[in-house]
Amino acid sequence: MGIVGNTTRSPNFRRNRILLTAVLCIYLVYTLVPLFYVVTASTKTNADLFGTFGLWFAGEFNLWQNLVDLFTHQNGVFSRWLGNTFFYSLTSAVGAAIFALLAGYAFAKYEFRGKKLLFALVLGAVMIPQTALVIPLYLMLSKIGLLNTPLAVILPSLVFPPGVFLMRVYVDEAVSNEIIDAGRVDGAGELHILSSLTFRLLMPGFATVFILAFVAAWNNYFLPLVVLSTSENFPVTVGLSIWYASATLGSGGNLLFTVVMTGALVSILPVILAFLIMQRFWQGGLSAGAVKA
Amino acid sequence: MAVITLSGITKSFGTVHIIRGVDLTIGDGEFVIFVGPSGSGKSTLLRLIAGLEETTGGRILIDGTDVTDRGPAERALSMVFQSYALYPTKTVRQNMSFGLEVARLPRAEIDRRVNAAAAALKLEAYMDRKPAALSGGQRQRVAIGRAIVREPVAFLFDEPLSNLDAALRVDMRVEIAKLHQRLKATMIYVTHDQVEAMTLADKIVVLDGGVIQQVGAPLELYERPVNLFVAQFIGSPKMNVLAARREGELIRVGSGAVPLPFATSRPIAHIGIRPEGLEVVSSGEGHIEGKVDVVERLGSDTFAYVIVPELGTLTIRIVGNAAGIALDQSIGLRLAAGQIHLFDTEGRRIAEGD
């Protein structure tokens, strides 16, 4: 007997399929329930937030008032935080993607002394949690006087080892050595070859690294919490957590709970939007037909 | 147009020595083909000439100028790659003009050259297409067009036809031959296909193990291979090589013997005979005896594979359909005297008068 896959009618297949579907359903629920909670909670009044069932809407639809509260509380500082988060994330992601592209390209296409060791370091860096680096980073930033500046958040975020790893693999796959050689024979320099011949082939990889770095920077909490100290520099994550802390202390009154929930909802919308926009860059296959048949 | 001189070229990757000392002069307008089996260093040698690899030792001269340390663009060569290596995001026109734009040629000159090449290669209808929308043969022509517009001092081809199907390969082979006649440019061409080598080359360079085995005109290599490697590499089906030993004026091969074709004092270890140098005769009347194992009838020719005791399987080429030959038939084989090649214990050719 050769190897034969299960047909869709075999009991074996049905059992496996049901099991798999069940596991995925559990995972789906696990992922979506908190999100759904945020959505419902942000439409409630403070009283309803604690007085009604958490996973369904209350009778009174209070979302607009919550939004008004969110953007007016403490003179509208939330807009400022949102702007900060956007600025930090965008610059970090663009920078991280460019560095990852250059490093990954070099690892994939050039031979140089110490390549294996350096790449091992990159892989090692993937394993180190960012959180572990926050204290040493704080000390370094303090020495060079960058504490409580945007650079304190952006500079460390430019280093994105998983991106380097991804780009190396992607460049290996998407760019043939012969295209680079052809560019060299045509007289183009290495950067010129990258920018005008191979970059567009790498767009899907670049977009992936960009979005990963963007989300990582958008969600970054601990680093900005430690290195930033004034409210006008905070990103949304740190700002909301401080509001939340003050709400639980009771100093700002219960009002803040719904504001924090609404703030959480507003802060995840741009990320979802970014994913949708970047999706069109994921289409691969650009290099089809360039090499071989 | 250019004369390219290689002197003492070596190339090693770490401890692996790919090219072990190559000296070669490629004349102006010559069509030179590097052939050799996989790993013989033929592609590496081409890449060294192109400047895509750095030499470990030796010097490369183009028209007397030492270009060993110059980059690929400064050598003013063009290269056609095995995979075509077209720029996938650029149109055919942009593919062809890219190198000229890098060189900052005036727009009018770029257009003139690209249009001329497009006309010569019948690519005008495809100028705004991307490579993905072209057939294999069209892509190959774009790659050649991209090489032509640079007006290089010499063309380098790295197995340019190996990705094409058999019929197209013959067409493109003819086109490349015409291109050479028209441009009269120096061309260096790498292939492992010895039919391409025999049909296109003015001069063939046979490489093995990073060393040049023989340089010569195609027929010269066919008729007077300097060693067993060349003897067996050039020619299809390949030359039969038989262990042999001298007995007076006879050469003993297996249980048979042939007369010594010419006087020589050197010890004979092998004789070579091409498939067309063997004549089928009745059993008992040949120099050696064998049994027909496989018969391939191609119409114009017939190849018979004959098992000869002590010697192995010999290939015989018979013109026509060889109706008289049947499987398992015992036959005699005569070796045509003028077609026997003698080789010494090191596998070197023994020439008449040696």
- The model's confidence at residue A2, banded by pLDDT at 50, 70 and 90, is low
Domain boundary among B186, B205, B233: B233
Stretch among A158-162, A249-253, A257-261 having the lowest mean pLDDT: A249-253
Any idea what the CATH number is for the domain that residue B329 is in? 2.40.50.140
Is A8's pLDDT higher than 90?
no
Residues B99 and B208 in one domain: yes
CA distance A178 to chain B (A): 5
- Nearest by CB to residue B88, choosing from A183, A188, A287, is A287
Please report the pLDDT score of residue A282 as a whole number. 63
Check whether residue B282 and residue B194 sit in a common domain.
no
Q: Are residues B188 and B256 in the same domain?
A: no
pLDDT value of position A214? 93
pLDDT-derived band at A1 (thresholds 50, 70, 90) equals very low
**One domain for residues B196 and B173:** yes
When pLDDT is cut at 50, 70 and 90, the band that residue A245 belongs to is confident
Compute the nearest-CA separation of A123 from chain B (Å): 25
Give B348's strand partners.
B227
Query: How many residues make up chain B in this entry?
Result: 354
Which of B212, B233, B254 is where one domain is finished?
B233
**Residue B29 near residue B185, CB atoms below 8 Å:** yes
- Is residue A96 within 8 A of residue A157, CB to CB? The reply is yes
pLDDT digits (tens, 9 = 90+) for A56-79: 888 788 888 889 888 988 888 999
- Calculate mean pLDDT across residues A3-26: 82
Q: Is the pLDDT of residue A48 over 70?
A: yes
How far is A161 from B221, CA to CA, in rounded Å?
56
What are the per-10-residue average pLDDT scores of chain B (354 residues)? Answer: 91 92 94 93 94 94 93 92 92 96 95 94 93 92 94 94 87 91 94 90 95 95 94 91 91 90 90 94 90 92 93 92 87 91 93 81
Which residue is listed with tokens 């296109």?
B200
DSSP for B67-134, written as a single string: -TTS-TGGGTEEEE-TT----TTS-HHHHHHHHHHHTT--HHHHHHHHHHHHHHTT-GGGTTS-GGGS
What does the block give as tokens for B98? 């890219």
SS3 of residue B295 by DSSP: strand
pLDDT at A14: 82
- The pLDDT-based confidence of A7 (bands split at 50, 70, 90) is confident
Residue spans of the domains in chain A: they are 78-282
Co-location of B222 and B244 in the same domain: no
Give the pLDDT score at A210: 92
Facing B73 at nearest CB: one of A179, A185, A197? A185
| Co-location of B118 and B181 in the same domain | yes
Considering only the beta carbons, identify the residue of A186, A196, A289 that sits closest to B88: A289
Task: Name the residue among A28, A25, A48 with its Cα closest to residue A36.
Answer: A28
B216/B254 same-domain check: no
Within 8 A of B71 by CB-CB distance, chain A residues are 184
pLDDT bin (cut points 50, 70, 90) of residue A15 is confident
| Average pLDDT along chain A | 87
Residue A194 DSSP label: I
Size of interface A-B (CB pairs under 8 A): 93
Boundary (domain end) residue, out of B202, B233, B264: B233
**How many domains are there within chain B?**
2
- Measure in Å the smallest separation between the Cα of A211 and chain B Cα atoms: 23
Residues of B whose CB is below 8 A from A191 = none
pLDDT score at A254: 55
Local structure of residue B201 (DSSP, 8 states): -
* pLDDT tier for residue A49 given thresholds of 50, 70 and 90: confident
Which range of residues forms the domain containing residue B94?
4-233
B340 and B247 belong to one structural domain: yes
The class that CATH gives domain A78-282 is: mainly alpha
pLDDT of residue A56: 84
CATH number of the domain within which B74 lies:
3.40.50.300
The confidence band for A286, taking pLDDT boundaries of 50, 70 and 90, is: very low
